[in-house]
């Protein structure tokens, strides 16, 4: 399947972008959250009180040698944006805001930890968490520098498949939770319409 379909932002995606923007303005500029997000002020304050240097919407990128590089550089291989991060000495705290339903397992936190280990050599431990805005829950996971090879192994099958897809410009269908009406590729064998409420 050729990668020709363009994504159209839905209501939930637009809401997610709005929440991220307001959290960013609160953390970076000290602005109050709008009334519809005021319930998250205590969590914003909790993050603001963390020790160390704070980074808001921090862009990180690596080249194929796993060296930090420009986000849009010619040699960029992998990139991401960290919603919130605090670094103090050898410790990093990374928070990713999630506006959807709580999901038990996701690899994104592991990838964020790898970005930090390769970008900040002094960091030996990453304490990562999702903040689920619908329930105000946190999902936490700790990653240690000594386990970098083990963490990368989680991604190797996907990386090999992505490299082959880019080389051939052929994108194999992959079933996921987005198949139920969220994905714009309606001709895919896994696509299903959204479930009615």
Q: What is the CATH number of domain 11-147?
A: 3.40.1350
pLDDT greater than 70 at residue 181: no
What's the mean pLDDT in 70-77?
90
Cα–Cα separations (whole angstroms), residue 63 to 9, 68, 71, 119, 155: 29, 7, 10, 11, 16
Q: Could you tell me where in the chain the CATH 3.40.1350 domains are found? A: 11-147
- The reported pLDDT for the residue numbered 140 is 94
Higher pLDDT among residues 190 and 57, named by residue? 57
pLDDT in tens, 156-166: 766 556 555 55
Six-digit token string for 132 = 């689920």
> For all residues of the chain together, what is the average pLDDT?
86
Higher pLDDT among residues 187 and 127, named by residue? 127
Q: For the whole model, what pTM was predicted?
A: 0.78
What's the mean pLDDT in 177-182?
66
pLDDT in tens, 81-96: 999 999 999 999 999 9
Own/partner pairs for 151-157, CB < 8 Å, 24+ apart?
Answer: 151/110, 151/113, 151/114, 152/114, 154/107, 154/110, 155/107, 155/110, 155/111
Instruction: Report the alpha-carbon distance of residue 23 to residue 44 in Å, rounded.
Output: 8
Six-digit token string for 88 = 């103090």
Q: Which of 75, 72, 80 has the alpha carbon at shortest distance from 109?
A: 80
Higher pLDDT among residues 92 and 171, named by residue? 92
Q: 48 by DSSP, 3-state: which?
A: helix
What's the mean pLDDT in 140-155?
92
- The reported pLDDT for the residue numbered 7 is 60
Cβ neighbour number for residue 100 with a 10 Å cutoff: 14
- The reported pLDDT for the residue numbered 171 is 60
What's the mean pLDDT in 70-78?
90
Instruction: Report the alpha-carbon distance of residue 52 to residue 127 in Å, rounded.
Output: 13
Strand order in the sheet with 91-98: 53-63, 76-88, 91-98, 125-132, 137-144
Q: Which of 95, 131, 88 has the alpha carbon at shortest distance from 112?
A: 95
128, 113 in Cβ contact below 8 A? Answer: yes
pLDDT band at 155, cuts 50/70/90?
confident
Quick one: what percent of the chain has pLDDT higher than 90? Answer: 60
pLDDT in tens, 5-18: 566 677 888 999 99
- The reported pLDDT for the residue numbered 15 is 93
What's the mean pLDDT in 12-29?
95
Q: Which of 114, 131, 118, 117 has the alpha carbon at shortest distance from 27?
A: 131
Question: DSSP E strands: which ranges in 5-159?
Answer: 53-63, 76-88, 91-98, 125-132, 137-144
- The reported pLDDT for the residue numbered 70 is 93
Instruction: Report the alpha-carbon distance of residue 121 to residue 125 in Å, rounded.
Output: 11
């Amino acid at each position: 399947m050729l990668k020709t379909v363009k994504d159209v932002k839905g209501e939930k995606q637009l809401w997610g972008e709005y929440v991220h923007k307001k959290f960013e303005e609160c953390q970076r500029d000290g602005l109050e959250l709008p009334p519809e997000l005021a319930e998250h002020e205590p969590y914003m304050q909790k993050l603001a009180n963390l020790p160390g240097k704070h980074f808001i919407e921090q862009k990180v990128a690596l080249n194929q040698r796993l060296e930090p590089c420009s986000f849009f550089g010619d040699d960029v291989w992998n990139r991401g944006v960290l919603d919130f991060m605090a670094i103090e000495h050898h410790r990093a705290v990374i928070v990713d805001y999630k506006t959807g339903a709580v999901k038990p397992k996701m690899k994104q936190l592991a990838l964020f930890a790898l970005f930090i280990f390769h970008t900040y050599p002094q960091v030996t431990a990453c304490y990562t968490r999702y903040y689920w805005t619908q329930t105000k829950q946190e999902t936490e996971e700790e990653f240690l520098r000594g386990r970098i090879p083990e963490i990368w192994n989680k991604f190797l099958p996907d990386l090999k498949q992505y490299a082959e897809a880019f080389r051939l410009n052929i994108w194999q269908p992959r079933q996921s939770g987005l198949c139920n009406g969220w994905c714009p590729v309606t001709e895919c064998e896994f696509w299903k319409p959204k479930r009615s409420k």
